[in-house]
Amino acid sequence: MRGANIFTAKPLSRRTVLRGVGATVALPFLDAMAPGVSALTGKAARPRRFQAIFVPNGMAMEHWSPATAGRDFELTPILQPLAAFRDQLLVFSGLNASWTYVHAGASGSFLTGTRRGGTSETDVIADTSIDQMLASELGASTPLASLELSIDKEANAGQCTSGLSCAYTQTISWRTPTTPLPMENNPRAVFERLFGDSGSTDPAVRRARMHEKRSILDSVMDKLADVERRVGDDDRRKVEDYAAAIRDVERRIEVAESKSDVSPEAFPNEPRGVPATFEEHVELMFDLQLLALRSDITRVATFMLGREQSTRTYPEVGVSDPHHPLSHHGNDPALIARMSKVNAYHATLTARYLERLRATPDVDGSMLDNMTLMYGTCMSNSTRHAGNNVPILVLGGGGGRLKGGRHLVYDGRTSHANLLLTLMDKFDFPLERVGGSTGALPIDEIETLSEV
């Protein structure tokens, strides 16, 4: 018989945080928290979350776009890795990027829907991105309003694409039209931000813990044990699994640091140790995001799997060509096929993360059920730096607000900013405009696809 979540003490607060020396550990959602969360209704509110995953350098559209609209569409080679999530997948075709200036528009407009950009390397302007709009609302009840992560390091200041500021290619998050947010690529810095004392990245605390080979959990073990004594069997397993996940991420970061050629004594104030391989790095960053979302440290996250004009190679899938030059394939079928391997690989890594979200229990379902996840880019055929028919997906259950399992095709005259406006509606934050939007995008009625 399953252990009941019955205990003599008062229900746990959803905001339960365990504090120790140099550590602040928020708990994941437990059944024992439900009475406190839902004192009036008897049912816990579903914590809706938003995440964006950006992929660089356009898409091999011939291997991306399904041939038919509606529910019976066939998954293309790039989308095939997402087959297990078809019921919570929306594929969009016929949407145009709101701003299409070379590579800058691909990332600069992805979450902003901006119609404009700067005119020089020092002129930086766009629009507030929807992740930051959501962060201003959802972040009021979480320790971190949002989390902005990437795989690539920040580029040097100055111009990165066609005379414009690097800001457009190295972030997708804009706090204001003139404030692009930096993206963090170092796992240790992210881990310390999530679980260090009050979000601190105090290098002295970090160095002491590393030299003594202590886990960040060591100073809160007594408190974790106290929580486990207060809750039932199901919650106890959740706490144990959560603690194990934190330890696993911490261990993987330590392994990467042990292989780093950067001495902690030479740069004592800087975190070090980015994993050696792209795949290890991506999976570690995904797991950090899962921990942050699972423990309600934040409900908003953005992640760049690569920066525009990235020249990364992908030996993992047999592609030795640098990504950016390969993306300028001149419509050569052989080069497009190679590029599609890169695109499918990104989808495969994302699918592994989606599986972890789906396997993690949450209020009234799984983490994936309560997620709205936007995936893609605002560039289609990168040979032409094309901003028409941009490759964008929406995944997850949206807390019951999204109807997946469909390929929605629009008339080719609609800005993707309209989708951004609709996603804000789905979070019950209706706006008159997002960037260059002209109105909400119909995404619920499959019958409206008369323009296919």
Of 169-183, 199-213, 405-419, which range is least confident? 199-213
- Rounded alpha-carbon distances, angstroms, from residue 296 to 30, 246, 269: 12, 14, 28
Query: How much is the pLDDT for 44?
Result: 62
Q: How confident is the model at residue 271 (pLDDT cuts 50, 70, 90)?
A: low
CA dist 12 and 16 (Å) reads 7
Q: Are 194 and 24 in contact (CB under 8 A)?
A: no
CA dist 187 and 195 (Å) reads 12
Strand partners, 180: 174
Backbone angles phi, psi at 183, to 5 degrees: -110, 130
Q: Model's pTM, two decimal places? A: 0.91
Residue 172 or residue 153, greater confidence: 172
> Does position 41 have pLDDT exceeding 90, yes or no?
no
Query: How much is the pLDDT for 12?
Result: 75
CA dist 397 and 319 (Å) reads 34
- pLDDT tens digits, one per residue of 54-68: 999 999 999 999 999
Give CATH for domain 49-185+301-448: 3.40.720
- pLDDT tens digits, one per residue of 331-364: 999 999 999 999 999 999 999 999 999 999 998 8
Query: How much is the pLDDT for 195?
Result: 92
- Rounded alpha-carbon distances, angstroms, from residue 369 to 50, 127, 259, 395, 405: 12, 29, 38, 9, 14
In the chain, where the domains are located = 15-45+188-273, 49-185+301-448
- pLDDT tens digits, one per residue of 380-436: 999 999 999 999 999 999 999 999 999 999 999 999 999 999 999 999 999 999 999
Q: Are 149 and 285 in contact (CB under 8 A)?
A: yes
